[in-house]
Amino acid sequence: MTTQGSKAVLITGAGGGIGSATVEAFAARGYRVYAGVRTLRNAPRFGHANVVPVELDVTDSAGVRHALDAVAADRGPAGLQVLVNNAGVIVQGPLELVPDAELHRQFDINVYGPHRVLVAALPLLRTGGGRVINISAASARTAMPYLGPISASKAALESLSHAARVELAPWGIPVSVVEPGALETTIFAKAESAAREALLLADADRVELYRAQLAAVDKALAEQKTRPVGTVVDAIVRAAEARRPKDCYVASSDARMLRILAYLPFRLRDRVIAGALGLGKSDVAAGAAR
């Protein structure tokens, strides 16, 4: 079977949040949408006939190749017009207490995963005159304390994106990154739950050293203003349909603020971030001294 009459997009991490909303947006615009999900049995029910769920676990190299083979068989010579590398997780917590396996999981999904998918998708992108959109984070440019793993993984993803943009230019394949801010999705709740589980397994004395800081950060994050995923979806669609897509799309005001902080001297930046997270207060200092 071939589906040559429409443009096609492959979206990883399509099971919820940004991913599922992006699937619906592209389907409504007439795209053939390949919705990459970890397992088909848990795939959401999309409301469009032109959405094709594809089992795609970005940590499984063989599975990624199999998924792209299925897309190729469906598309034939029409190829792929857009790849959206959206699958991702957030690992958070004090770096001293982040388990080695969790740090590896962070990079396996957020960095190695997009690379696996890109390599497998490039033949289809070359055939279809396609483009690549990698979903990053505002913390890629300004690393946040207690969010070190996610910050580092997104910084790495942006570095790979910038390198790929130049390398793929001879084939006319643009590469853009989209930087969301704080969003109304379940990924943050999942990250918090995983972090709390990790703390339960960590050395109790070391956990106690961070008790006051963690409470301050939790309070600051709970009070931050979140935005609907539509703000990010709009940026993704613009990147997909622009005649000359930008290198980077910043999808919210808080993401723009972190970009501005990246230009400050390191010590000033540290003070601003610590103050915003409540880490400069005397009670936090007292907790650290215990």
Beta-carbon count within 10 A of 159 CB: 12
Name every residue whose Cβ is closer than 8 Å to that of residue 269 and which is 6 or more positions away in sequence: 142, 261, 262
Q: DSSP label at 226?
A: P
Rounded CA-CA distance 12/287 in Å is 42
The C-alpha atoms of residue 83 and residue 240 are separated, in whole angstroms, by 9
The CA R_g of the chain, rounded to the nearest whole Å, is 20
Beta strands in 200-278 (DSSP E): 248-250
Q: If we measure between CA atoms, which residue out of 4, 155, 165, 152 comes closest to residue 73? A: 4
C-alpha separations of 272 from 150, 165, 236 in Å? 20, 33, 30
Residues belonging to the chain: 290
Cβ atoms within 10 Å, residue 203:
11
Q: How far apart are CA 107 and CA 159, in angstroms?
A: 13
**The Cα angle at residue 157 between residues 249 and 29, in degrees rounded to 5:** 45
Closest alpha carbon to 194 in 258, 137, 109: 109
For residue 185, the model assigns a pLDDT of 58
Count other C-beta atoms under 10 Å from residue 171's C-beta. 11
pTM of the model: 0.90
Q: What is the mean pLDDT, run by run of 10 residues, along the chain of 290 residues?
A: 73 94 96 96 87 97 98 97 96 92 96 98 98 95 94 97 98 97 64 69 84 89 80 96 96 86 94 90 46
Structure tokens, 229? 């995923």
Report the SS3 class of residue 112: helix
The helix (run of H) or strand (run of E) holding residue 63 is: helix 61-75
pLDDT of residue 184: 63
Q: Using alpha carbons only, what angle is made at residue 31 by residues 26 and 35, rounded to the nearest 5 degrees?
A: 65
Residue 255 is predicted with a pLDDT of 86
Torsion sign (Cα): 92, 97, 103, 105: negative
CB 228 within 8 A of CB 252: no
The pLDDT, as a whole number, for residue 286 is: 46
Under 8 Å between Cβ of 111 and 41: no
Q: Supply the pLDDT for residue 149.
A: 96
